[in-house]
Amino acid sequence: MRRLANVLIIFMTVALVSGAVLAGMARQASSSSIKDLMGDNFQNIQVILFNLITARYDRVPDQIRVIHQHAVELPQKVPETAKSDFEKRTFVTYAYQLESHTSNMLTVLDELNKRDKMQADPGKQNIDYLRVVAARQFGEIVATCVLCHNQFRRNPPK
């Protein structure tokens, strides 16, 4: 009977320790996944900027789609630094703003790319306003990232 009690105590201890370790790993995986999303977004933003500056608008949608997909995933990945309900809602709001700006940019780029492929003289198409809107949406994407990072990542890694 004592032996059975000792085995049960050992089993329960192992179960508790394993549960704590697995919970810690899950928390770390969640943190690293949001970190991975942000790293991907930063790399994509650099590529987008280069392509916008060099007027290669047809190369931008793929990177915007990646950021858009990340924005869709972010509301389920609220960082641990968002402690209050207000902070959690603020983070989710930033995610929705990012989703909205990327959707808008995809729409503008689609129209811009269609018009760039037309055979008509580009000077007669009056597409400069589309380039301005694309640049503005890009600025909104970057601004959303900066605002969110300033709020939820106050202590940048060293």
Rounded-to-10 torsion of CA 115, 121, 125, 131: 60
pLDDT tens string 73-104: 999 999 888 889 999 999 999 999 999 999 99
All domains of the chain, ordered by start, with CATH?
A: 33-152 (1.20.120.230)
Residues 6+ apart with CB under 8 A from 82: 88, 90, 91, 152
pLDDT exceeds 80 at position 61: yes
Q: Find the mean pLDDT for residues 53-81.
A: 91
Q: pLDDT value at position 136?
A: 94
3-state secondary structure of 84: coil
Q: How confident is the model at residue 44 (pLDDT cuts 50, 70, 90)?
A: confident
- Indicate the pTM of the whole model: 0.70
